[in-house]
Amino acid sequence: MKTLNVIFVLLLAPFAAGAAAAEKLTLADRGTTEYTILVPESASPVQISAAAELAETLQEISGVPFPVKKESEIASVSPEEKLLVIGPGAASKALLGPETDEDAVPYDGIILKQAGKSIVFSGHRQRGPLYAVYTFLEDELGCRWWTAAESTIPKRETVEADDFDVQYAPKLIYRESFYAGLMGEANAKIAAHLKTNGASETIPPELGGHHKYQYFVHSFYTVIKPEEFLDHPEWFSEIDGRRKIGGWWGITKKMRELVPAESLDEHGTQLCLTNDELCQTFLERVRKDLDANPEATIVSISQNDCRGPCQCKNCAKIAEEEGSESGPLLYFVNKIAEGLAESHPNVLVDTLAYQYTRKPPKTMKARENVIVRLCSIECSFDQTLDGEFGPSFADGNRRPAPDPENRSFRDDMEKWNEHADRIFIWDYVTNFSQYIIPFPNYRILSDNVRFFVNHNTIGLFEQGNYQGATGDFVQMRAWVMAKLLWNPGANQKALMEEFLSGYYAPELTPLYMRYFDLLCDASEKSDRELGIFQSDTSSWLDLDTYNACAEIMDRIDAKAAELETADPERNAGLLDKVRRERLSFDMALLLDYNRFAEQAQNEGKEFRAPARDEMPAFCDEFRARCKAVGLNRYSEGGGPDKFEQYLTDVFEKIVGGTAAE
């Protein structure tokens, strides 16, 4: 693991704090420690991990090994002893006293408390002690974990801890920063360090595990197979007077052979949600699948990723009465949830309020064991859901942004609060048509997380670039988002600056922040909605802003080279990282080269880019730079098999001098 330099910001403010002044603890000094890490007699795997993490990191900081013992291996527990106690257990209970009930700590909550000369690291049993250790190492000792491979662990001869008393539980019980860098077994530890716990985050039980789903969204045709249309057409959507079948992925060859053309629907269909036989069959299958997957605590009963709701008499009646297609959906989901409440009382039922079901019903309410997950896909993402643009990083000023789509989402969100006790959100924080190019939502992230939490959201899935390790500052985005999910009150600007300083270099931070501000300003000025499917920057990035950003990027390149030369140890690999991040801006240049070149020529303006006859070399170099960092995907659907050809097509438009699309 590589160690980086850091300027860190203490983030204790949002936590409950305020014990009487306590003495400063010296955990290690000049090669020795008087402290012992104490675990309960029958420690859980999470408690053992918490003790190991504490011991290893303290040793890395101080060079001193810290002994780890069981409660039975020490003579006594008292505030006079020098103990680092992992709770919940007998020792932590004795030190915390009767006023702190460890068993009453909410889900994922932590207790981090100084008790005389000892410290207690405790909390909710599933992850609390581990999270308490992480919080201590970060906020008290200045450790940072940036990515799976890069962290900052400050070295100190004397390790001291100041007065602290933290009891905190996140409002979001489900936190998923959906980026490639936090997914998969190789990234389990960084995902745990960043306190995320989503379904894709493969965190092992000894690090607290993660939420496990049965199915994961769009499950109608997972449970009921499209082929069943042949025997049970009445289970499927009636559209224009006829039962129809079609997947959102299109019609398969097999379906074309088996089903008469008039019963196929190219746009995709759903299920007939008022058909009792279908409902019973669906329930039995879900029960069977849950029995086979006992670790799942949430089951997704949710519409296909298309429209095509059933228009039969019974479904249409509910939709009309409830003023929304969420009526028949909730009718069905509630019935499944009622059945599962009997057979699987520990499982929650998650459904989508998505596209045609996003509008809440007039009267119907979701059962207690139902999660309604709203999706923000229609919104404009350079604006907050509160109807403003994000605050400028330079001066904090912001302007109103009356986008009707965001207002509509806000209205639905407010109303769903009256119809569901458990609300999750599926939010979008990247550009799915062009992952690589800048996506100017940099200023609204914390505002939207806070908006969701203020509207009773308890689970937040932030869908970022989950398919690439290179893109539009994906490392920073994954980290900042994870921090916001844990603590929605955190200062987003401070988090970004902290990451930029720690992961790159403090000297580059003001330049990058200026770059983000310029891009956001341009997007706001364009007066265009910023959707999540932008094929290039033509709808928002103007030539003047491009030039200003190019100048900043040149300065960052030069500064990174200078810093790496001046201090190769501290800044090892800095220029490579900076060049990797520039791929995003350079991709924007490639896609919009002709537009900018034409405008510069027509208006007699500067165009800060290689001349057209230099572009073949630039394109070759760009391709080589992509290869060097393993960048081989440009969009959600544009995977490795399409990337080379995609670049060739983009380059051809420049080198051939044809107009941009």
Interface ranges with Zn ion (CB under 5 A):
272, 310, 312, 315
Measured from the CB atom, is 310 or 379 closer to Zn ion? Answer: 310
Which residues, 6 or more positions from 524, have their beta carbon under 8 angstroms from its beta carbon?
A: 382, 389, 399, 401
Measured from the CB atom, is 33 or 269 closer to Zn ion? Answer: 269
Q: What is the DSSP letter of 504?
A: I
**In the bound complex, what is the minimum distance in angstroms from residue 314's beta carbon to Zn ion?**
6
Give the integer Cα–Cα distance in Å for 73 and 626. 56
12 CB neighbour count, 10 Å cutoff: 15
Return the structure tokens found at 19: 């014990």
Measured from the CB atom, is 310 or 429 closer to Zn ion? Answer: 310
Which residues, 6 or more positions from 260, have their beta carbon under 8 angstroms from its beta carbon?
A: none
Give the integer Cα–Cα distance in Å for 151 and 581. 19
Which residues, 6 or more positions from 571, have their beta carbon under 8 angstroms from its beta carbon?
A: 505, 560, 563, 564
Q: Is the distance from CB of 270 to CB of 303 less than 8 angstroms?
A: yes
**In the bound complex, what is the minimum distance in angstroms from residue 272's beta carbon to Zn ion?**
3
Q: Is the distance from CB of 158 to CB of 445 less than 8 angstroms?
A: no
User: Pseudo-torsion of CA 531, 384, 388, 546, nearest 10°?
Assistant: -50
Measured from the CB atom, is 255 or 312 closer to Zn ion? Answer: 312
Measured from the CB atom, is 310 or 563 closer to Zn ion? Answer: 310
Give the integer Cα–Cα distance in Å for 47 and 470. 35
Amino acid at 505: A
Give me the long-range contacts of 505-511 (CB less than 8 A, separation at least 24): 505/5, 505/559, 505/560, 505/563, 505/571, 505/574, 506/5, 506/7, 507/559, 507/563, 508/556, 508/559, 508/560, 508/578, 511/552, 511/555, 511/556, 511/559
Give the integer Cα–Cα distance in Å for 274 and 604. 65
Measured from the CB atom, is 310 or 552 closer to Zn ion? Answer: 310
Measured from the CB atom, is 180 or 306 closer to Zn ion? Answer: 306
**In the bound complex, what is the minimum distance in angstroms from residue 315's beta carbon to Zn ion?**
3
Measured from the CB atom, is 224 or 429 closer to Zn ion? Answer: 224
Amino acid at 478: A
Q: Is the distance from CB of 605 to CB of 599 less than 8 angstroms?
A: yes
Q: For residue 12, which of 162, 171, 116 has the smallest C-alpha distance?
A: 162
Q: Is the distance from CB of 238 to CB of 244 less than 8 angstroms?
A: yes
Give the integer Cα–Cα distance in Å for 4 and 569. 10
Task: Give SS3 for 234.
Answer: helix
**In the bound complex, what is the minimum distance in angstroms from residue 299's beta carbon to Zn ion?**
22
Q: Is the distance from CB of 25 to CB of 159 less than 8 angstroms?
A: no
**In the bound complex, what is the minimum distance in angstroms from residue 244's beta carbon to Zn ion?**
12
Measured from the CB atom, is 331 or 451 closer to Zn ion? Answer: 331
Measured from the CB atom, is 272 or 508 closer to Zn ion? Answer: 272
Measured from the CB atom, is 95 or 239 closer to Zn ion? Answer: 239
**In the bound complex, what is the minimum distance in angstroms from residue 224's beta carbon to Zn ion?**
13
**In the bound complex, what is the minimum distance in angstroms from residue 219's beta carbon to Zn ion?**
18
**In the bound complex, what is the minimum distance in angstroms from residue 260's beta carbon to Zn ion?**
20
| Intra-chain end-to-end CA distance of the chain, in Å | 44
Measured from the CB atom, is 68 or 310 closer to Zn ion? Answer: 310
Measured from the CB atom, is 312 or 348 closer to Zn ion? Answer: 312
**In the bound complex, what is the minimum distance in angstroms from residue 551's beta carbon to Zn ion?**
60
Give the integer Cα–Cα distance in Å for 193 and 245. 45
Give the integer Cα–Cα distance in Å for 314 and 146. 54
